[in-house]
Chains A and B, each alone.
Chain A
Amino acid sequence: MTLSMSYLITVNPGAILNELLSWLAYLNRGTVVLQLLLVGIVMVAEQRGALRRRVEHRLVPEYIRVLIGPLILLISSALFLLAGLPWGLLRYFGLLWLGWMSFTPLKTLILSINKKFPVDELESTFLRPIYVIVASTSFIRLMGSTENLAQTPVANLFGVELTLGRIYLAIIAIYVIMTLSSRPATFLAWLSGVLFGVRPRNRRGLELLFRYSVIIVGIIGVAYFIGIDGTAFIAIAGGLSVGIGFGVKEIISNFISSIWLLFEGSVRPGEILMVNGDPCTVRKLGLRATQLRRGRDGAELLIPNQIFFTQEATSFTATETSRRDSVVVGAAYEHDPDIIIELLKTIAKEHKKVLEYPPVNAFAIDFAESSINYKVLFWVSNPLDSFEVGSDIRRTIWKQFEKKGITIPFPQRQVYPMEWPPSLQQSHHSAGGGGVMPQGIQPELTGNDEKPNSEA
């Protein structure tokens, strides 16, 4: 499929440029220049702190003092009105500035009512975008006809004439869809939880799926709104198929993997996977990569989705979440294994995070050099707990053994300093009678300060 670039997209900024240049005509008017000058002076004075310094610091908090600049503009707009001069520009900039500065007091107010309210999120996702929209549309209304400007054609995409208004609305719509898609998705996931009994863990995956669907439907809707129809979509699909073949193969592969993994349900947020022998919790299944948190050190891992898709992964949560772990301990030969096994079982059972079923079990696993080794096996419901539970059980075993006089033997090695040549007595003692160290071979050095007597 060959499509010339000019068919795909042509941009014609001439109309906008023309509009912008025409705004310069306003600078011919003294009243406009006067208002702009005043705005400039107040803003520079505010920037240099000249306005704020005059107000006593202790009496007025900072977030009130920043409102002085905008208030000066609003007051001067009122004075201009009284003097019969055009005043709207002063009011516009005053209000714009006031709006910007009132975010901080507003946030302080909300936080004083409810400390847990996510004000920062509210500000960045809602308040500031609304502010930008209101400021830009009101500015255009000041400068000319919004409707007229909105219908100015600026680009041509797939044979569809894109007007400034449509592009503006499309950007807003896409932003709204991206930010708000999580809400209906959460609701749908919750609803499916209520209606079909989907487990909370699965709901998060479902939520993500719903969210992607909302975004895809929304973007297609926006495309149709700006006039890109079926033919244009075919053109896009044609272009993409070539793109997928070459450049964006990995991205698409990761994306498709993420969708597939969600459907399959093997890598969902909240799952616990073993990555290189470490248990990790899945935090987020993204479009390209999965974000995991490694339990051992809290590191965040970003693993491309296709890794999970193409390589094996150990999951502790795929069908059930419980994990079996074990503690190995040695006890001296003199103790009855039955007693030890019974004690180990009791210790494990008594831990509150150890599951009753499957039951705890303990085995004698080895007649080792200095001890009989036992292994106690237990199940925990959360795989991430097994490490902690193991430690608890070891500590309890030590305490119980201590209490009951059970010794945990450990290999002991006695090391003696040697003299060279050995005295007869020493030689007999250390070689156990028959052994004589061959000449020229140094005896093993110990960790103490004594040096072999090489001078002798």
Chain B
Amino acid sequence: MTENQRSIVLKVAQASNENEQHSDHRFETERKITRNFQQQLKEMQPGIKLHPSIYPEESLERALKVQTNSGLGPDLVIADSNQALSLLALGLTDPIKLTKEHQNLINPAALERVKTATGSLAGQPISQYLQLACFDKRKLKKAPKTLKELSEASGTGTVFGMVTNLQDLYWSLGSFGAGEALTASLAGQKVTVAAHERLTQWMRWLKESSYQQNIVFLRNQAALRKAFIEGEMNWISCWSSQLPQLREKLKDHLGIAPLPSGEFGRATPITRLQVWALGKNSSRRQRAESLNLLDFMVQPWAQKTYALKYRTGFPVNPAAAMIVSKQLPPGFSKFSEDENKRVSRGDAIVSAIDAKPRLKKDIQSTLNELIFDGLSPENAATELETQMKAKR
């Protein structure tokens, strides 16, 4: 048998990271990366031929349902941890069984995020995406390290851009220590006066920022990136998964930094895990090769190589993380296992909100009213706590 005959095609369904963007070039950058990855993998795993299809995040579940019902479902599904869990719950993927040895290769905090209530794993974490600050080196020599510096820089004509949804603004909660109030509200507990005050302070900062001429709030990340690429903004909050697009456009002028801290503490950026889950319809051989590939993907070599090559995510393998952290851009290098634990609270809050569309909508409208309309920070803080307690 020749090598070609032995090679097997694995169908991969991938949820897009460029979700908020509804344009003709929606998946262009992702397609390029995927194609490149296919080539790279071919060299290392000649027996496996990946055939990826990129889906908009919002339609992944529906598409997988139709395909899985027909027996045409993918062999592998690439999604974030929340989506991987919900796909497993819907019966669209199979849980994955990892040996103890295999589990040791993966950061325990990351594994925890794909674990269901019964303890089974919805997928295998491969990489994690971080929230960062992206800036144009031509306009800004150094990214602001604190919110105070940010405010000062905006006074000197640098334009800062942020998105008005909680997931994208969550990093700034850490700077005020306001996360506690939200965690308590979400758990249905009483919010302490101090925690409530810190949440109100965060709201105040948001309101004040919205009054500033050079701090601009947009409704989605795509609009923010577009404005940044076109030079209308000099600093934006961004996601590591979206860096390739920015790198392509800004080349060497793109600067990456950690998000600014506040007086209370450091920023708490959200992370998104890239999780690979097993499709339901694979044949025996397809399943075996999929598991083979999953094993390969968490080995230190693959983790290190792909993290350094694409520079979009942080390895989930702690050994690989150690190796690459020095070679990755500043925003990444600060990220460590400790950091992982620190930010996991934010991830939990955001994923809980994501799972409740109505709550998400209510929170969004409160933030919009605060930033664009006349809602006072005090009222907004109370409203947010009430909404989270009601958990609709």
Contact = CB atoms under 8 A, between A and B. Distances in A.
16 contacts: A22-B11, A28-B8, A28-B285, A29-B282, A86-B68, A88-B66, A88-B71, A142-B67, A143-B67, A145-B13, A147-B55, A147-B56, A148-B31, A149-B53, A151-B28, A163-B24
Interface of A: 18-19, 21-22, 24-26, 28-32, 35, 85-89, 91-92, 141-145, 147-149, 151, 163
Nearest to A143: B72
Nearest to B280: A86
Contacts of A142: 66-67, 70, 72
A24 B68 CA distance: 16
Contacts of B27: 147-148, 151
A29 B11 contact: no
A188 B258 CA distance: 62
Contacts of B31: 148, 151
B11 A145 contact: no
Given A145-B55, A147-B26, A147-B54, A35 B9 contact: no
The 10 closest A-B pairs by CB, nearest first: A88-B70, A86-B71, A25-B9, A145-B53, A88-B69, A22-B51, A31-B71, A148-B53, A144-B53, A28-B283
A86 to B, nearest CB: 3
Contact of B71 (A32, A144, A149): A32
B72 A89 contact: yes
A35 B72 CA distance: 11
Nearest to B71: A86
Contacts of B59: 147
Contacts of A18: 51
Instruction: Count chain B CB atoms within 10 A of each CB in A18, A28, A85, A149 and give the residue with the most.
Output: A28
Instruction: Count chain B CB atoms within 10 A of each CB in A22, A89, A91, A149 and give the residue with the most.
Output: A22
B175 to A, nearest CB: 38
Contact of B286 (A28, A91, A141): A28
Given A29-B283, A147-B55, 7 more contacts: A35-B70, A88-B67, A91-B70, A142-B70, A144-B11, A147-B26, A147-B59
Interface string B62-79: 010011111110000000
A91 B72 CA distance: 13
A149 B13 CA distance: 13
A19 B53 CA distance: 10
Contacts, number: 87
Given A32-B72, A92-B70, A25 B55 contact: no
Contacts of B70: 32, 35, 86-89, 91-92, 142
Nearest to B55: A145
A215 to B, nearest CB: 25
Contacts of A163: 24
A79 to B, nearest CB: 14
A18 B50 CA distance: 11
Nearest to A28: B283
B234 interface: no
Instruction: Count chain A CB atoms within 10 A of each CB in B13, B24, B53 and give the residue with the most.
Output: B53
Nearest to B69: A88
B172 interface: no
Given A22-B11, A88-B66, A29 B51 contact: no
Contacts of A86: 68-72, 281
A148 B28 CA distance: 10
A87 B71 CA distance: 7
Interface in B24-46: 24, 26-28, 31
A30 B26 contact: no
B72 A88 contact: yes
Contacts of B69: 86-88
Contacts of A143: 67, 72
A25 B285 CA distance: 11
Nearest to B73: A86
Nearest to B75: A25
Contacts of A151: 24, 26-28, 31
A321 B282 CA distance: 77
A145 B26 CA distance: 13
Instruction: Count chain A CB atoms within 10 A of each CB in B27, B31, B68, B283 and give the residue with the most.
Output: B283
